[in-house]
Structure 1
Amino acid sequence: MAALRQSFAQLLLLQRGHLIGWAPVCLATGIGLYFSLPVEPGWPAYAALATLGLSMLMLSRWIGQAAAPLAIGVALILAGAILAGARAHHVAGPVLGWRYYGPIEGRVVGIDRSASDAVRVTLDRVKLARVPPHRTPGRIRLSLHSKIEGAAPRPGLYMGATGHLSPPSGPVEPGGFDFQRHAWFQGLGAVGYTRVPLVALAPPEGGQWMFRIRMALSARVQAALGGETGGFAAAIMTGDRSGMGQDTLTALRVSNLAHLLAISGLHMGLLTAFVFAALRYGLALIPFIALRAPVKPVAAALALVVAAFYLGLSGGSIATERAFIMVAVMLVAVMLDRRALSLRAVALAALIVLVLRPEALMGPGFQMSFAATTALIAVFGWLQHDALPRGPKWLRPVIAVVVSSGVAGFATAPIAAAHFNQIAHYGLIANLASVPLMGVLVMPAAVLSVCLMPFGLEWVGLWIMGLGLDWILLVAHWISMQEGARGMVPSPGPLVLPLLSLGALTVILWQGRARLIGALPIAVAFLLWAGVERPRVLIADTGGLVGIMTPEGRALSTAKGDGFAALNWLENDGDPATQEEAAARWPAAQQAEDWPDILALRGKRGLQEVAGCGDAEWIVLNISAPEDWHRGRAGPDAPPCHILDPKALRVTGALAMHGSDLSVITARQVTGARLWNTARSSPEKRSKIASNQ
């Protein structure tokens, strides 16, 4: 035992100098554990975690250098859980507890476009009729479905409309994407739509100057370029995607070029790299400055200022904040004459992001950007260390682009497949044909257009930029139309991504041959993914849609209604069918011998077509069931069936049934009783929900 302990201590000592990379991993572990809890911790739990964390830090001072990192790692895990809980309580706000219809007033603080191609506005300073201020959400999001043109949304404008609002919905299936949690951290207390034109109630006030600049620049760019190219340029320069249609967005996703649309690490990196290089070499050409000032640090400082302005101009989304932090860490390293691109810089950036926004860990943006950056730095570090042949000088840039695209695509492909259920088979080709153009043409032209804008000559840069974007859109549409461009995969289980991440990080961060142990969790993750079994039955939380798995794919009970749930179910199955195609499977599938005893009824007419439970074990309704149905209307001798109507489903959320015995798992059982899904409940109801977990 002593020999084993000594060997383990020597193994840990070999990692000295390389342990900083594990700090964000430990912090992320604690954050992930917090989000996986079935109930919200109380203050005694946080006090216990803090006490234990401090004890671990004190313990690390006297247990020796070999074991000290383990104690610090435990302290970081505990700190991650505390940070996530503190953030969840810090963003807490009122959540609408019922469906609302009536007058809506508020100030425009965000403009974008929904998945149905409708313009959406985000409002703060919300006023709702007959709703007291302490129960009114701080922010709401409203989709505009009016066919009559009303007042155009503008930053800071007070607007009013009559519309429908409802609380943010829960997962469309147990274990699915939790929009309630997402909305909680965005500060959204209600979402909805209006079918009437917006009315301007008051002119824009002061403040929000950056938002106004952003939308003014977006309008100017779209007016100069027009069409989808103008919308694409506006999205890249300002983060405003409201000018882009769903067809273009779909083509970019299928061709794996959607990352060019989001202002993330690529855009921030290309912009700051171009500005840094231009300033550095421009200042070096001025002898008076070059001989008296440290040109490189000055150029890095000015590039950091430009990056900060770009962050504000883009709207400051989580993805852009993350990209800015990564770039800022690298530019500060340049100013301090340290290596800008290193795993330590990436680890520091990840720590800053996780401390400021712990919820970012759960999103694909954080996971994909840090996976790509970590993999790129590790691979190029290995190539440089191993002194592999680099080829002729004229070919090296091409090799670098190919290797970069391949490594980034390989690192992010499992994460993208897990979140979006698709694999872009020709994504590498599309990126090789597009990404270099972003660096050498599009982003420099964007900077040029902004510099020339005060003189009214921005059209010069925008014209050049449009040429590059036209090519990228051409590549996206051509790739997306190729047969087999998109492959569909089912959603993995909850352990797959953590195991993949653990294995990949072990291979990259661990020193010595023991890093090969990381291949084991990677293999286990892919085996679990390959053997994933989708639920046999899925029931939407509205009661309006039922999906039953058949040999041909999931059969849906209706071709219209609950479209968001239908789309997500089919995507999570890895099924490319549309809702209409899946609904066409329903009549034929009902004749199968193993068809479950489930009856899906819609509206009052559906209730009139049946007399009690009949042969069905489960009856699903999209309207409230009559009271006597819950007692089994087939008679006192017949076994009562299970009734699932909107009233019952509001408590359970969406349902999934597995196996031939139809064992039930509810969305509430998976999500638990957390701040984001119990905020609109009374204290008595919250305690009841928690006791039922």
Structure 2
Amino acid sequence: MQRTIEKFLAGRDLERGPWLVVAFGLGIAAWLLLPGRVHWLAFGTLCAAAGTGALALDREGEYQRLRLAVASLCLMGLFGLAVVWSKSALVGAPGIAHPTLVEVLGPVIDRQDRGAEDTIRLVVATRLEPAGPVRRVRVNLTSAQDDPALVEGAQVRLRARLMPPAPPMLPGSYDFARAAWFQGLSATGRVLGRPVLVAPAPGGGSLGQMRRALADHVRARLAGSPGAIAAAFASGDRGAIAQADEDAMRDAGLSHLLSISGLHVSAVVAAVYVLVIRLLALVPPIALRVRLPLVAAAAGALAGIGYTILTGSEVPTVRSCVGAVLVLGALALGRDPLSLRMAAVAAFFVLLFWPESLWGPSFQMSFASVIAIIAFHNAAPARRFLAPRDEGTVTRLLRHLALLLATGVVIELVLMPIAVFHFHRAGLYGAAVNVVAIPLTTFVTMPLIALALVLDLAGWGGPVWLAVGKSLDLLLWMAHVTAAQPGAVTMLPGMTRATFGLFLGGLLWLALWSGRVRLAGVVPIAWASAIVLLSRAPDVLVSGDGRQVGVAMESEGNGAVLLVLREGRSDFTRDTLLEAAGQAGDVTPIDAAPGARCNPDFCRLELRRARRPYVLLMSRGRDLVPIPDLARACATADIVIADRRLPRACQPRLLKADRALLRRTGGLAIDLTTGDVRTVAETQGRHGWYPWPTIPDADGTKAVQPQRGVHSPQPKAPPPQ
């Protein structure tokens, strides 16, 4: 066995490097996935022992490559664990304990204008207690409350209602508390009344002010949705894009165009590189004495770095900038610019400074698409397809277009598991529409925006802005038409972390190796695909506070519908419930469901699963209910859900999901057919951002434990009809 592995590694010296970055990422992932400090230390100790042991053993033996591979992979895993643990300890900000009404006094750290929502977001550094530490809080205010002088560096005083950063509403949903922990945010809230400007910002203007001024200029020159998207391309400010346009771009597979990432940075860098090298080539004294690729690469790198800083230095932009700089370096040195080693170096740089980005969809999607492009174009069939041959211009163009379409399909297939894991949705037509949208954005829209901004210095940009608007009108038309097609988006139940790990492991194996051995990656991908296709959506969804309940039901003629106990005031609540249920469309109040009986205090709903009827009893009122009446109602129910603590007299047959239980488990996803109950707490571990209860509940409620595989007992008798 050892000889086989040694022989395998001996023939792949150039392919082993990217796996070191994979091991680094696995160390970061282990810190997130393992439950707590003891497990983190055990993992680190195991990596250190295996790494040092491999280096110490068989120093003069015949398995040198195997020994070095084991040692380097283990030590990189240990390094990844240490990096993310250290950053968490350095920047992590504990959330406030409970909602509170406070006066906030301090400097503005960041300002974001979200014109489409009529909202301004301010991040303020303040002391929430007189002798307490300085904390960052994020507050929202409307344009009616705004003062244009509230910019970065200004001192402000305001009253706000603050909330702790919210944990996931349901298992698998967005974890804002984790994001806030690494952003150093201790609370979020809404401003009450008008803020008071205590001291204006110092002169000179910040990058944030420059970014907003550029976005305002673009929107002043180009109105409507095209102006909002053009401002996003120029400055990274997406706040003015209408929600309908955002949704259409997302469902059409074009949302990546709205986020400043590889496409935009590459367009800027490539344009500057080509422009500089062509202009300098026209000057013979320079062309004969200076190595033009080096000068052009330096100019392109400076342009890419400047564009990255101007647009906010988001992780996808930084990743793209690092990759572009590496490509420029390869071009200047005459090396192959499309290399997996280049992508690995860029990934290592991002993870070294932003290790928390590993489990975010932005990092995963951006690097997955880059790796897919490089691996596909370096594969032998693609190289043969693009090999030079004696053919006409039209034939050669068609061949390149076919490869572009095939590349789009590969990218869509690679990104599909990531989209399903994070967003519970998979697009079908993105590959086709991107064949037109990407060249349109790269070679038409962005160069026209740059030209218009330059001509605006002399007041001549009007005609060019008109052309920009027409190109963006075409882009939006394609997005809306594609998103409106039947089957444009398929909603699927969320997958578990283990299933997602099978997908990622198979995709990495398929991409990072060469030859027939890479085909072994198809096995875990096929296994994970079968799990997803055979998985069931949960029957009952319960939010962590018990106020939001979703029940999946089959409706004659309408297919699956989602019944909700309360219709939330925000689209976020509705969208989260629908995504967790693997459904699209809208929700239906439980009151309107056949078989539901509701009064101001409770709703009773009967549903049938696995040839057995189940009765749900859900609290929705605030008044006290006589304990004997409550006890009788609970005794006829299988599951009772409440946003308050219920007395011991309430004893349902299966599960009592009241405040006492939900404080320990967070949101629930219940599968009545299998008896499986998934909880938010089982995915959190003992990390600082999750509000684990420290005081035991006094009523002795038996809670579902925060771990997978909890099976509720079957009903002792059918509930009364």
Judge same fold: TM > 0.5, yes or no: yes
Scaled by the length of structure 2, what TM-score is found?
A: 0.85
Structure-2 residue corresponding to 1:178: 175
Which of 501, 525, 528 matches 1:525? 528
The 3-state SS of whatever aligns with 1:93 is: coil
CA distance in 1, matches of 2:527, 2:242: 40
Structure-2 residue corresponding to 1:599: 617
Structure-2 residue corresponding to 1:654: 667
The 3-state SS of whatever aligns with 1:163 is: strand
Quick check: 1:353 aligned with 2:370?
Answer: no
CA distance in 2, matches of 1:665, 1:187: 29
CA distance in 1, matches of 2:186, 2:594: 37
CA distance in 2, matches of 1:55, 1:218: 54
CA distance in 2, matches of 1:499, 1:102: 47
Quick check: 1:501 aligned with 2:504?
Answer: yes
1:560 counterpart letter in structure 2? G
Structure-2 residue corresponding to 1:137: 135
Give 1:111 shift: 3.9
Quick check: 1:421 aligned with 2:418?
Answer: no
Give 1:492 shift: 1.5
Structure-1 residue corresponding to 2:5: 8
Quick check: 1:430 aligned with 2:429?
Answer: no
Quick check: 1:65 aligned with 2:64?
Answer: yes
Give 1:483 shift: 3.1
Task: Please say which of residues 35-44 and 563-572 is displaced more in the overlay.
Answer: 35-44
Instruction: Decide whether the 8 Å contact of 1:107 with 1:125 is kept in 2.
Output: yes
Which of 279, 282, 290 matches 2:276? 279
Structure-1 residue corresponding to 2:629: 611
Deviations 1:142-197 (A, max 9, x none): 23357x45424534333443332111111122343322112211222112223544
1:169 counterpart letter in structure 2? A
Unaligned runs of 5+ in 1: none
Structure-1 residue corresponding to 2:700: none
Unaligned runs of 5+ in 2: 555-559, 597-603, 698-702, 708-721
Give 1:72 shift: 1.4
Deviations 1:376-422 (A, max 9, x none): 11222224643556664344353454344333223223322332222
Give 1:302 shift: 0.8
Deviations 1:499-546 (A, max 9, x none): 122212222222332221111111111011112233332211111122
1:575 counterpart letter in structure 2? Q
CA distance in 2, matches of 1:281, 1:516: 44
Scaled by the length of structure 1, what TM-score is found?
A: 0.88
Structure-2 residue corresponding to 1:311: 308
The 3-state SS of whatever aligns with 1:428 is: helix
CA distance in 1, matches of 2:116, 2:622: 29
Give 1:341 shift: 1.6
Which of 603, 613, 620 matches 2:641? 620
CA distance in 1, matches of 2:32, 2:664: 21
2:680 counterpart letter in structure 1? A
**1:637-648 paired onto structure 2 within 5 Å:** 644-646=657-659, 648=661
1:558 counterpart letter in structure 2? R
Deviations 1:538-569 (A, max 9, x none): 21111112223333344322223575344212
Which of 550, 553, 563 matches 1:555? 563
Give 1:572 shift: 2.5
The 3-state SS of whatever aligns with 2:334 is: coil
1:443 counterpart letter in structure 2? M
The 3-state SS of whatever aligns with 1:144 is: strand
Which of 484, 488, 494 matches 1:485? 488
**1:349-498 paired onto structure 2 within 5 Å:** 349-382=346-379, 383=381, 385-386=383-384, 388=386, 392-394=392-394, 395-396=396-397, 398-459=401-462, 461-498=464-501
Give 1:299 shift: 0.4
Give 1:356 shift: 1.6
Which of 267, 270, 273 matches 1:270? 267
Quick check: 1:632 aligned with 2:630?
Answer: no
CA distance in 2, matches of 1:116, 1:97: 32
Task: Please say which of residues 273-282 and 653-662 is displaced more in the overlay.
Answer: 653-662
**Relative to 1, partners in 2 of residues 1:666 and 1:388: Cα closer, same or farther, differing over 3 Å?**
closer
Identity fraction in percent? 28
Structure-1 residue corresponding to 2:713: none
**Relative to 1, partners in 2 of residues 1:454 and 1:107: Cα closer, same or farther, differing over 3 Å?**
farther
Give 1:459 shift: 4.1
The 3-state SS of whatever aligns with 1:676 is: coil
> Relative contact order: is structure 1 or structure 2 higher (C-alpha 8 Å, sep ≥ 6)?
1
The 3-state SS of whatever aligns with 2:65 is: coil
The 3-state SS of whatever aligns with 2:240 is: coil
Give 1:90 shift: 2.1
CA distance in 1, matches of 2:84, 2:639: 39
Structure-1 residue corresponding to 2:85: 85
Instruction: Decide whether the 8 Å contact of 1:120 with 1:144 is kept in 2.
Output: yes
Structure-2 residue corresponding to 1:122: 122
Give 1:253 shift: 0.7
Task: Please say which of residues 565-574 and 260-269 is displaced more in the overlay.
Answer: 565-574
Deviations 1:25-52 (A, max 9, x none): 1111221121101114589658736743
Instruction: Decide whether the 8 Å contact of 1:31 with 1:358 is kept in 2.
Output: yes
Instruction: Decide whether the 8 Å contact of 1:567 with 1:579 is kept in 2.
Output: no
Instruction: Decide whether the 8 Å contact of 2:561 with 2:587 is kept in 1.
Output: no
The 3-state SS of whatever aligns with 1:26 is: helix
Quick check: 1:590 aligned with 2:571?
Answer: no
The 3-state SS of whatever aligns with 1:538 is: strand
CA distance in 1, matches of 2:225, 2:106: 30
1:497 counterpart letter in structure 2? F
Give 1:291 shift: 0.9
CA distance in 1, matches of 2:675, 2:32: 28
**Relative to 1, partners in 2 of residues 1:115 and 1:655: Cα closer, same or farther, differing over 3 Å?**
farther
The 3-state SS of whatever aligns with 1:418 is: helix
1:602 counterpart letter in structure 2? R
1:277 counterpart letter in structure 2? V
**Relative to 1, partners in 2 of residues 1:200 and 1:360: Cα closer, same or farther, differing over 3 Å?**
same
Task: Please say which of residues 405-414 and 501-510 is displaced more in the overlay.
Answer: 405-414
The 3-state SS of whatever aligns with 2:689 is: helix
Structure-1 residue corresponding to 2:680: 667
**Relative to 1, partners in 2 of residues 1:132 and 1:398: Cα closer, same or farther, differing over 3 Å?**
same
Which of 315, 321, 325 matches 1:324? 321
CA distance in 2, matches of 1:57, 1:124: 50
Which of 513, 516, 522 matches 2:516? 513
Quick check: 1:261 aligned with 2:240?
Answer: no
**Relative to 1, partners in 2 of residues 1:663 and 1:218: Cα closer, same or farther, differing over 3 Å?**
same
1:619 counterpart letter in structure 2? V
The 3-state SS of whatever aligns with 2:526 is: helix
The 3-state SS of whatever aligns with 1:495 is: helix
1:666 counterpart letter in structure 2? T
Paired residues, number:
673
Instruction: Decide whether the 8 Å contact of 1:96 with 1:135 is kept in 2.
Output: no
Structure-1 residue corresponding to 2:601: none
The 3-state SS of whatever aligns with 1:142 is: strand
Instruction: Decide whether the 8 Å contact of 2:114 with 2:240 is kept in 1.
Output: no
2:103 counterpart letter in structure 1? P
The 3-state SS of whatever aligns with 1:165 is: strand
**Relative to 1, partners in 2 of residues 1:235 and 1:116: Cα closer, same or farther, differing over 3 Å?**
closer
Deviations 1:418-454 (A, max 9, x none): 3222223222332123211111111212322343454
Instruction: Decide whether the 8 Å contact of 1:656 with 1:664 is kept in 2.
Output: yes
Instruction: Decide whether the 8 Å contact of 1:60 with 1:69 is kept in 2.
Output: no
Instruction: Decide whether the 8 Å contact of 1:214 with 1:238 is kept in 2.
Output: yes
